[in-house]
Amino acid sequence: MKKRHLLYCFFLFLIHPIHQTICLADQNIVIKSSDVHGEHYPTVEAVRYMGELLSNWTNGRITIKIFPNGKLGSEKDTLEQTRQGYIEMTRVSLGPVGKYAQGLNVFNLPFIFRSIEHMYNVVDGEIGTTLLLELEQAGLIGLCFMDSGARSFYNSKRPISSPEDMKGLKFRVMNNPIFIEMIQAFGAKAVSIPFSETYKAIQSGAVDGAENNSPTVFTQKHYEVTKYFSITEHLIVPEILVFSKIAWDYLPAVDKELIKKAAIECSIKERELWKKKERIDLENLKEQGFIILDDIDKEPFIAATQAIREKYGAGFKVIMNKIEKTK
């Protein structure tokens, strides 16, 4: 019985994809990496650049194979696949990562960051670096943060200038209870729907709108099924690149260092690309006749979400204070 069990384990080891990628391929390492965005989105371009760097530095020994457009599934799914070692890497929003790391989850709180610069200073500084380590107990290695701008509401029904305008509307959010509670705090309804199903959900009337940044609204063509974009900037949720801990533990120290170094270059590249894309896509949306309200008074939105920051920040007072004090 014991022997049979051992044989079975050995069989599982042989068929495990990590073993095939990292051990059997003659030292060649192919990092499979997933993204829900398309080929030319800043996050995808930046990970492609990371792959080019790794390949150049190692004479083609380490490469990245990107699966864009959500080919490997939703962010919730690819995070699980990464945790279990079926893929080596995934680029996701920090939103769905929140459930694996409660400290890191404070970055998902509405109005936690005062500006994009504030977010950069927090995530690139001691707080971000320390909190990334929290992911290890969930089977993930946090490699770097990228820019995703700020998220704002768009919908098919009416212009929104205050939380009152949101009453009775239903919005799609990412997979994290914080976002559901946030919408409820504004007096509206929320439902978590995978990214790839958002267009259809709005089109069919299952929801009235969603919230995101202009590059996403433009590239996913959500402007075709909505009309009003209110620049509330209620969330500044960074993107994150995570590696599978199972795969990571197979790697020699020298390769881990190369991957970490390339990930830093990747995040620098993404931030450059992002700035341009954000500006261009806001213009693109205007050209499509999208109605953009950019003179919103944010105070009522900030006040309505105070209880959520208190609730989720309760166990993390030191972090919350440090974030506030960061310039």
Amino acid identity, position 279: R
Nearer to ligand BDP, 93 or 155 (CB): 93
R_g over Cα of the chain: 21
Ranges within 33-52 binding ligand BDP (CB under 6 A): 36
Under the binding rule (CB under 6 A), the answer on residue 174 touching ligand BDP is yes
Does residue 93 touch ligand BDP according to CB under 6 A? yes
Answer for which of 239, 255, 270, 278 binds ligand BDP (CB under 6 A) is: 239
Least distance (Å) from ligand BDP to the CB of residue 314?
A: 26
Q: Under rule CB under 6 A, which residues in 277-296 are in contact with ligand BDP?
A: none
Interaction between residue 92 and ligand BDP (CB under 6 A): yes
Query: Could you tell me the sign of the dihedral formed by the alpha carbons of 279, 238, 35, 169, in that order?
Result: negative
Among 33, 148, 155, 176, binds ligand BDP (CB under 6 A): 148
21 vs 216, which CB is nearer to ligand BDP? 216
Packed helices 306-313 and 177-185: angle between N→C axes, nearest 10 degrees: 150
CB 127 within 8 A of CB 326: yes
Nearer to ligand BDP, 239 or 255 (CB): 239
Number of residues binding to ligand BDP, judged by CB under 6 A: 11
CB of 160 closer than 8 Å to CB of 187: no
With respect to ligand BDP, which residue has the nearer C-beta, 238 or 319?
238
Q: How far apart are CA 313 and CA 327, in angstroms?
A: 19
List C-alpha distances in Å: 225 to 116, 180, 217.
Answer: 28, 22, 10
Segment 202-221, which members bind ligand BDP (CB under 6 A)?
212-213, 216
Q: Which is nearer to ligand BDP, 179 or 316 (CB)?
A: 179
To the nearest whole angstrom, how small is the minimum distance from the Cβ of residue 173 to ligand BDP?
A: 8
Tell me whether residue 81 or residue 93 sits nearer to ligand BDP (CB atom). Answer: 93
Report in angstroms how near the CB of residue 171 gets to ligand BDP at its nearest: 11
**Shortest Cβ 174–ligand BDP spacing (Å):** 5
**Which residue lies nearer to ligand BDP by CB, 82 or 212?**
212
* Residue closer to ligand BDP (CB basis): 161 or 196: 196
Token output for 242: 């995570």
The verdict on 108 binding ligand BDP (CB under 6 A) reads no
- Spell out, one character per residue from 1 to 40, where the chain touches ligand BDP: x when CB under 6 A holds, - when not: -----------------------------------x----
| Site for ligand BDP contains 119 (CB under 6 A) | no
Sign of CA pseudo-dihedral 3, 9, 15, 18: negative
Considering only 45, 75, 88, 233, the residue that binds ligand BDP (CB under 6 A) is: 75
Q: Point out which residues bind ligand BDP (CB under 6 A).
A: 36, 75, 92-93, 148, 174, 195, 212-213, 216, 239
